[in-house]
Structure 1
Amino acid sequence: MNAKSVLRLLCLSAVVLFAALPAQAADLERTGQWPGGPATAISVKDSAVFIGHGGFLSIYHTRTFAKLAQITASGYIRTIAIAGQYAYVAAAEAGLLILDISNSTKPKLIASVQDVYAAKVVVQNQYAYIATSGAGLRIVDVSRPQTPKTVVDYKPESWVDDVALDGRYAFLACNTAGLCVVDVQNPASPAKVTSYAGGYTVYHVAASGRTVFICGPNDVRVTNFSEI
């Protein structure tokens, strides 16, 4: 083997070795820290960050981390969804809380949906989709946030612990029934499209296009629904 062949072999070996090495995580620079203890939900709008911690919702400036406001919820805050000038707060046994956050230093509770357990809320096209655990998926018309109106309670085969949306489809974490895919193009009449079970328990779900990530007791699985 001549010198050029040896050199090519060494270069190829180096490329293969480099490709096999795990990617190094980038170092994150901490620019601030919230001193309030465990946080249960978080969302950001403009220069304000909304942090749910137990039964409280605190609002801080994103850069200075100065406290802007705090309100007390009558339930455990699970998620915070922001749409326009409103924050939709899934507050467990207290239901869905709707806040006017046009002035982040003076948030106002303007309405609530109290007859439901709210584990997760997602807002799309003037509708709020609430994962209610034992009561299924509730769809609420929030086109007038001051007067939310329940459109339908959709009850699949099992509990609904989480919900993610992609266009006309809602992906439901249906606990022991797996993943349920529902067509919500007509929010008043949700229709089951398909499901993914196989004995897999699904607690949480996230969607990016038709690629869906589901979280179970032992791992995270990825599935694609490009054909629906």
Structure 2
Amino acid sequence: MYALASVGLSLIFGTLGMFNMTYGLFMTLGAYVAYSAANASQLPLVLGFVAAIVAGALIGVLTHLLIMRFMLGTPDFGLNVMVATAGLGVVLQDIEIKIYGGYLYPQVVRVEGLAQLGGVSITLQALTNVAVALTLILGTAWLLMNTRFGRAIRATAMNREAAMLMGVKADTEFLQVMALAGMLAGVAGLMISTQSTLSPQMGDDPLLKAFVICVVAGLGNVWGAGVCAFGLALLEAAIGCYFGGGSGFRPC
């Protein structure tokens, strides 16, 4: 989940050169929309997953069209966008609280059951999360490395002016990057909510960790963000296992 969130955030920074302070709300929105879609239908798994993708992509596109594109090329672009997206995050969080309240909800879009692997019981939901995350991360990597769309994104990230001189439409690439990153955020939010609960603040912790991961990996380094995310997750798991969460408890 860390990798899925970090790759999208790193993709935005690498291409647009800015931090999207609303990214945590993208995750939260994807989880809530999936929850609402599942409650309104009898196909919670399929429809909820699709709803999270569409919601994430849509909010990414709207954020670019309504805020970011007006600031491109302006002095202090990075700082201005950080402030603007932080303000948008406050508005979105207030809207979520207005609609759903500040209560905790269990995510209904989930896979039930247990699997036995080498004598260890693992929930099917955890295996599903791993499979979905790896599929989307590897799919994004393939997209960036083997398609015209991906080459245009990488060219824009390396040198925007040179890419535009070679015929790359930077504005279009920015819009597509925001849609792709929003899609990854929406799915990440849905997967995270299956491991915990739904709440308006559920995206804050993943956003903070995604920022740390992106800085450690190198700003804009998508591959590095994925690797560092797995490293952080394994470190957290090891600390929790060998040192416990408090009161001298050591699960291992």
Could you say which TM-score interval applies, normalised by the shorter chain?
A: under 0.3
Larger radius of gyration: 1
- Whose relative contact order is higher, 1 or 2, with alpha carbons under 8 Å and at least 6 apart? 2
Q: Normalising to structure 2: TM-score of the pair?
A: 0.21
**Greater fraction strand:** 1
Q: Normalising to structure 1: TM-score of the pair?
A: 0.22
